[in-house]
């Protein structure tokens, strides 16, 4: 969101890197900064308007960047360390965005007794000060994905909306519980997509939090069952 100097440069670089890019701006003339070779999707409108976001393809987006000229009304971004740094139990995260909304959230947090304990704050500082473990984690999960995905695809699953991260979201176009049962008979535990709402009724979620050896073994079991 935002086609100013920073936003247009980011959009061009992302497209050059092979990504599909949509960019939103209130002023149609701002898109001139993209130049004649930009092949992405441009949408004129407010970046926090639901219809505008849908037109830009937010439902299929892997990431969203807000780089508007300081107008972050009604926009909140949550950066959680649960996946980035394997700190799920810490419940550590921070918010960026609309100062008015953040102020309201801080009031609720204060009166509801949801203050982040100092040891967790210190752990967050340590984690955010280091990128080495982030790269190691990313490589670890990418390798596990590369090992497990071909087996799932060979078994008839279609992987959707999960090109990265520690989960695989996939479907065989059947009731999710049938997929869960099929994998369970192989000794593999998956989460039914219906746990996350009606739209997940034919999907399952597989976590790649087991060891490398266990992921490799699971892939072999799936292949052997085909």
Supply 164's token pair.
């990265």
DSSP-assigned letters across all residues of 13-75 = HHHHTT---EEEES-GGGGGGG-TT--SEEEES-TT-HHHHHHTTGGG-S------SS--TT-
* Sequence-ordered alpha helix ranges (H) in 69-113: 81-84, 99-111
Dihedral over Cα of 116, 118, 120, 123: its sign: positive
Q: Report pLDDT digits (tens) over 32-58.
A: 999 999 999 999 998 878 889 899 998
The CA angle 36-42-46, to the nearest 5 degrees, is 140
> Could you tell me if 35 and 64 lie in one domain?
yes
> Could you tell me if 6 and 63 lie in one domain?
yes
Q: Is the pLDDT of residue 100 over 80?
A: yes
CATH number at residue 177: 3.90.1150.10
Supply 201's token pair.
């009724």
End of a domain among 71, 95, 119?
71
> Could you tell me if 137 and 126 lie in one domain?
no
End of a domain among 130, 146, 165?
130
What's the mean pLDDT in 187-214? 95
> Could you tell me if 64 and 87 lie in one domain?
no
Domain range for residue 83? 76-130
End of a domain among 53, 71, 89?
71
Split at pLDDT 50, 70, 90, the class of 113 is confident
Number of folded domains that form the chain: 3
> Could you tell me if 116 and 179 lie in one domain?
no
> Could you tell me if 142 and 199 lie in one domain?
yes
> Could you tell me if 155 and 101 lie in one domain?
no
Burial per residue of 115-129, b for 16 or more beta-carbon CB atoms within 10 angstroms, e otherwise: eeeeebeebbeebee
Please report, for the chain, how many H helices and E strands are present, in that order.
8, 8
Provide the pairing of β-strand 167-171 with 158-159: antiparallel
Q: Report pLDDT digits (tens) over 172-183.
A: 999 999 999 999
Supply 180's token pair.
């869960």
> Could you tell me if 20 and 58 lie in one domain?
yes
Q: Report pLDDT digits (tens) over 120-141.
A: 999 999 999 999 999 999 899 9
Q: Are 215 and 147 in contact (CB under 8 A)?
A: yes
> Could you tell me if 43 and 108 lie in one domain?
no
Q: State the distance between the two ends of the chain, measured CA to CA, in whole angstroms.
A: 45
> Could you tell me if 138 and 210 lie in one domain?
yes
Supply 38's token pair.
């930009």
Q: Residue 222: its pLDDT value, please?
A: 97
R_g over Cα of the chain:
21
Q: Tokens 């204060």 — which residue?
A: 110
Burial status of residue 9 (CB atoms within 10 A of its CB: 0-12, 13-18, 19 or more):
middle
């Amino acid at each position: 969101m935002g086609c100013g100097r920073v936003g247009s440069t980011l959009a061009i670089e992302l497209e050059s890197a092979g990504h599909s890019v949509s960019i939103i701006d209130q002023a149609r003339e701002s898109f001139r900064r993209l130049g004649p070779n930009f092949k992405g999707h441009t949408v004129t409108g407010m970046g926090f308007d639901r219809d505008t976001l849908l037109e830009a393809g937010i439902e299929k987006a892997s990431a969203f960047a807000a780089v508007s000229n300081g107008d972050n009304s009604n926009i909140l971004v949550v950066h959680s360390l649960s996946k980035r740094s394997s700190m799920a139990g810490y419940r550590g995260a921070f918010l960026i965005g609309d100062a008015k909304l953040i102020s309201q959230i801080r009031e609720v947090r204060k009166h509801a007794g949801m203050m982040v304990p100092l040891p967790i704050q210190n752990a967050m500082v340590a984690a955010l000060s280091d990128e080495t473990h982030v790269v190691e984690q990313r490589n670890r999960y990418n390798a596990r994905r590369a090992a497990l995905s071909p087996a799932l695809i060979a078994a008839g699953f279609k992987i959707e909306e999960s090109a990265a991260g520690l989960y695989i979201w996939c479907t065989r176009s059947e009731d999710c519980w049938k997929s869960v049962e099929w994998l369970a008979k192989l000794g593999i535990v998956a989460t039914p997509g219906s746990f996350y709402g009606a739209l997940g009724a034919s999907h399952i979620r597989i976590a790649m939090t087991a060891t490398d050896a266990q992921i490799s073994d699971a892939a072999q079991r799936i292949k052997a069952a085909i």
